[in-house]
């Protein structure tokens, strides 16, 4: 994240104070003017350095971050906003990567065990001072259930970045994406980066199939619809297993016919991104291979045509 040197925070926090020091000295003690200029430059430089974004993530060490805000989306889904140490801090998470959340949780046998799970924030480094996590809590979940019980002011342990995928502008001509449930989070992260990068020349096209059980289960639908309205290079195709009577989208599980109809054909400048429940991802890998995509590895690499988060 880079700010113009004429940004308001620099004008108000550096240029005006420095100018007042020099102007005041010129009026009251003109013989000290050159010292005043040096002091103003030194103080301005210190202030400038302190206002630059600092990446806080550490890949090999857990750090604690405080829950600042909790926004309930539904009975089992919420967006959790965690504060970074300083307002100008950023996570330092490359687009497409995720973080690990760890917690020592009680087990049925009475012992305590450290459980670690991966999550992709729905915020980005262009939003300093905090990060947002969209989490669906399951009755049998470990970290997700732990998160649901967090109160504002409590902390979680985080480390990262993790993951083999890093998005760079125009890395492919066209992304096909298939997400199930909370698997939408890495897809949304990449899509938002593409839309932000349009002015700088990012021409990447995106077709996303987003599968859910019911209409009420569709997470971040307003955000996705706003992005498709704003950017004609982004298209979202919704699929429901249990649709309402007036449903106009896809019905059932994601099939080869849906992939053929809505997603780009296999090509060297096309990549297929998958994220969702493991059985869904496993089945989609086989379906995509049958349609001509290169065979997916058990653990995806950045260069793979089929990449599973």
Q: Which helix (H) or strand (E) holds 113?
A: strand 112-119
Active site residues: 98, 119-120, 275
The pLDDT of residue 33 is 83
Q: 220 — alpha (psi -120 to 50), left (phi > 0) or beta?
A: left
Nearest to 179 by CA among 262, 60, 84, 100: 262
CA 148 – CA 222 distance, rounded (Å): 23
Taking the model in full, what pTM does it have? 0.83
CA distances from 96 to 169, 196, 281, 307 (A): 12, 15, 17, 11
Cα-based distances in Å from 252 to 83, 99, 238, 275: 40, 32, 11, 17
Phi, psi of 64 (to 5 degrees): -95, 135
The DSSP result for 222-256, as a single string, is HHHHHHHHH-TTEEEEEEESS--TT--SEESS--H
Which residues are CB-neighbours of 55 under 8 A, at least 6 positions away? 89, 90, 91, 92
H-assigned helices in 30-176: 33-51, 143-148
DSSP β-ladder status, 205-212 and 98-106: unpaired
Backbone angles phi, psi at 29, to 5 degrees: -140, 75
> Whole-angstrom Cα distance, residue 175 to residue 39?
53
Residue 199, pLDDT score: 96
Tens of each residue's pLDDT in the chain, 309 residues: 445 677 776 777 777 887 888 788 878 888 878 887 888 788 777 777 666 679 999 999 999 999 999 999 988 999 999 999 999 999 999 999 999 999 999 888 889 999 999 999 999 999 999 999 999 998 888 999 999 999 999 999 999 999 999 999 999 999 999 999 999 999 999 999 999 999 999 999 999 999 999 999 999 999 999 999 999 999 999 999 999 999 999 999 999 999 999 999 999 999 999 999 999 999 999 999 999 999 999 999 999 999 999
Residue written as token pair 């909370």: 182
Strands 155-162 and 250-251: unpaired
The C-alpha atoms of residue 136 and residue 164 are separated, in whole angstroms, by 24
């Amino acid at each position: 994240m880079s700010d113009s040197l004429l940004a308001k925070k620099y004008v108000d926090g550096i240029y005006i104070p420095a100018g007042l020091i020099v102007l005041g000295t010129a009026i009251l003690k003109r013989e000290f003017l050159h010292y005043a200029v040096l002091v103003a430059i030194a103080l301005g430089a210190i202030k400038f350095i302190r206002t630059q974004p600092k990446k806080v993530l550490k890949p090999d060490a857990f750090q604690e971050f405080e829950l600042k805000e909790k926004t309930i989306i539904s009975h089992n889904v919420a967006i959790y906003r965690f504060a970074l140490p300083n307002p100008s801090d950023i996570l330092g998470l490359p687009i497409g990567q995720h973080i690990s959340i760890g917690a020592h949780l009680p087990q049925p046998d009475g012992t305590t065990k450290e459980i670690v799970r991966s999550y992709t924030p729905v915020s980005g480094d262009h939003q300093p001072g905090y990060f947002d996590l969209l989490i669906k809590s399951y009755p049998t979940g470990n970290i997700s259930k732990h998160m649901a019980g967090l109160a504002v002011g409590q902390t979680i342990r985080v480390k990262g970045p993790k993951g083999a995928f890093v998005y760079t502008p125009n890395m492919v001509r066209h992304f096909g994406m298939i997400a199930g449930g909370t698997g939408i989070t890495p897809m949304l992260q990449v899509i938002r980066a593409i839309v932000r990068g349009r002015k700088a020349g990012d021409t990447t096209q995106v077709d996303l199939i987003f599968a859910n059980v019911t209409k009420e289960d569709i997470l971040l639908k307003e955000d996705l619809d706003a992005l498709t309205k704003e950017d004609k290079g982004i298209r979202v195709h919704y699929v429901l297993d249990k649709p309402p009577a007036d449903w106009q989208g896809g019905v059932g599980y994601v099939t080869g016919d849906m992939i053929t109809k809505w997603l780009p054909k296999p090509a060297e400048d096309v990549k297929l991104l998958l994220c969702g429940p493991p059985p869904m991802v496993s089945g989609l890998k086989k379906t995509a291979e049958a349609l001509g995509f290169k065979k997916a590895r058990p653990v995806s690499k950045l260069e793979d045509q089929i990449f599973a988060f």
